[in-house]
Amino acid sequence: MNPQLNTNTRKLHDLGQRIWLDNITREMLNNGTLARYIAELSVTGLTSNPTIFEHAIGSGDLYDAAIQKLAVQGLPCEDIFFELALQDLTQAADLFRPTLDASAGDDGWVSLEVSPLLANDTAGTIEAAARLHARAARPNLFIKIPGTPEGIPAIEQSIFDGVPVNVTLLFSREHYVAAAEAYLRGIERRIQAGLDPKVESVASLFVSRWDVAVLEGVQPQLHNRLGVAIAMRTYKAYNDLLASERWQGLVAEGARPQRLLWASTGTKDPALPDTFYVEALAAAQTINTIPEKTLLAFADHGKVGTPLPADGGYAEGVLDEFKREGVDDGALAARLQREGVQAFAKSWSALMARIRDKSSPSAGAGAP
């Protein structure tokens, strides 16, 4: 065993949960930080989104020369972005390739999101997913598609087309089940067509945003309990699906499970411990994609306690308490998904503006 391997993160790995980093920058690729996280912190994958890239490209000048070069070629801002993102993510995918090979394809994945402006455009999402997957030309790159009503049929078709999909912006058990059924339908169609059923997918449930949404509207004793309860309820649905006759039939045909992934696991309430969601969401056969700050905090002082119960545990009792406080979790899930789409669209607009500014001839005038 690597003598520098972190004990805390390794315990999560040994439990059966995989740790993915919810961040990417050119700096961490160039200075060896990501390679170190892989070697020392049991990080076995990576996710990205428009907000992450907006921060990465907007802070500092590491992307400036590449933006200028692409702008001179006459590429529009969106094409420049995807070129930059694919440069970073294919480099990251290559770093994770040994993990992919050692796990027989279970692990070692990176994720690239389609434009959030396509969240309500089924046909546009299908086309973009296929195009980005082909451009990446890596076996371990997920295309992120939001689990919106219009995204669900795009997920099914993309899986049928052989595109690995990370379903993003899921906020409830019902959102998860819709995404899982889309995955199943895509795999079933592949089997019927005589195609290989092994197309990887993960389903990303956002957790901490639930607690932020109700913080001001419920009794203090209920603060920061809703997100974990929703996750527990969803974990039960996930285990029920894996045990179902329908899924077992697909396993017999060679299909791989669409794993459940915890997203939005950094704490936003300063009253909470900085490792709260990582510790609360320890669960076998899942993935936790963790912000860099939270990953380092967990490596330093995190603890792995009792894993989530497969049967949902006390989740329904907690959710009943929130109902008595007037919280309609179905309506709130729909609202959180809409707000998630809007937040990513806002980051996308800011990202395009940054690239536009850096693309102008004057932006590079002072460069040596």
Question: Which residue out of 144, 198, 236, 303 is catalytically annotated?
Answer: 144
φ/ψ (deg, to 5) at 39: -75, -35
320 exposed, middle or buried (CB, 10 Å; 0-12, 13-18, 19+)?
A: exposed
* Rounded-to-integer distance, Cα 78 and Cα 84, Å: 10
Mark whether 198 is an active-site residue: no
Pick from 241, 181, 244, 222: which is nearest to 329 by CA? 222
């030309």: which residue's tokens? 137
């997957």: which residue's tokens? 133
Listed in sequence order, the residues at least 6 apart from 203 whose beta carbon sits closer than 8 Å to its beta carbon are 147, 167, 170, 176, 179, 180, 183, 258, 259, 260, 261
Return the half-sphere exposure (C-beta side, CA atoms, 13 A cut-off) of residue 329.
Answer: 26
Tokens (6 digits) for 134: 């082909």
DSSP class of residue 363 equals: G
H or E element that contains 229: helix 226-242
Q: What angle do CA 298, 170, 349 make, to 5 degrees?
A: 90
* Rounded-to-integer distance, Cα 336 and Cα 213, Å: 8
* Rounded-to-integer distance, Cα 72 and Cα 244, Å: 55
Listed in sequence order, the residues at least 6 apart from 172 whose beta carbon sits closer than 8 Å to its beta carbon are 230, 234, 329, 330, 333
φ/ψ (deg, to 5) at 24: -155, 135
Contact between 335 and 308 (Cβ < 8 Å):
no
Tokens (6 digits) for 89: 């993510």
DSSP class of residue 309 equals: P
Dihedral sign of CA atoms 308, 212, 110, 156 in order: positive
Render 251-266 in DSSP notation, one character per residue.
HHTT----EEEEE--S
**How many angstroms separate the first and last alpha carbons of the chain?**
46
Give catalytic residues, as residue numbers. Answer: 144
